[in-house]
Amino acid sequence: MAHVRRAYGLRRVGHGGTLDPAVTGVLPIAVGPATRLLPYLAGDKAYRGVVQLGLRTDSDDLQGAVLGQRPVPPLDGPALEKALAPFRGTILQVPPQVSAVHVDGERAYARARRGEASALEPRAVTIESLTLLGWDAATGRLELAVRCSAGTYIRALARDLGDALGCGGTLAELRRTEALGFDLSAAVPLESLATPPPLLDPLQALGHLPRQQLEAIQLQPWRCGQSLAAEAPHPQGQPLAVLDPDGNLAGIARADGAGWLLPRLVFAAAG
Query: For residues 227 and 239, is the Cβ–Cβ distance under 8 A?
Result: no
The pLDDT assigned to 17 comes to: 85
The pLDDT assigned to 26 comes to: 95
Residues 140 and 262 in one domain: no
Residues 140 and 190 in one domain: no
What tens digit of pLDDT does each residue of 136-169 get?
999 999 999 999 998 899 999 999 999 999 999 9
Residues 191 and 91 in one domain: no
Q: Which residues contact 172 (CB under 8 A, 6 or more apart)?
A: 49, 50, 51, 52, 61, 62, 141
The helix (run of H) or strand (run of E) holding residue 158 is helix 154-165
Residues 110 and 89 in one domain: yes
Give the residue-averaged pLDDT of 101-123: 72
Please state, in angstroms and rounded to a whole number, the distance separating the CA atoms of residues 271 and 265. 14
Residues 16 and 65 in one domain: no
Residue 197 lies in a domain: yes
Provide the domain count of the chain. Answer: 3
* Most distant pair of Cα atoms in the chain: their distance: 71
Residue 109 lies in a domain: yes
Residues 50 and 108 in one domain: yes
Give the residue-averaged pLDDT of 23-35: 94
Give the residue-averaged pLDDT of 176-183: 93
Domain containing residue 215: CATH number: 2.30.130.10
- Name the pLDDT band for 271 (thresholds 50, 70, 90): low
Give the residue-averaged pLDDT of 221-246: 96
The pLDDT assigned to 97 comes to: 75
Residues 118 and 145 in one domain: yes
- Residue span of the structural domain in which 25 resides: 2-40+183-202
Query: For residues 157 and 93, is the Cβ–Cβ distance under 8 A?
Result: yes
What are the catalytic residues?
Answer: 20
Residues 29 and 59 in one domain: no
- Given 146, 171, 202, which residue is the final one in a domain? 202
Residue 271 lies in a domain: no
pTM over 0.85: yes
pLDDT at 92 over 70: yes
Q: Which residues contact 244 (CB under 8 A, 6 or more apart)?
A: 213, 214, 219, 250
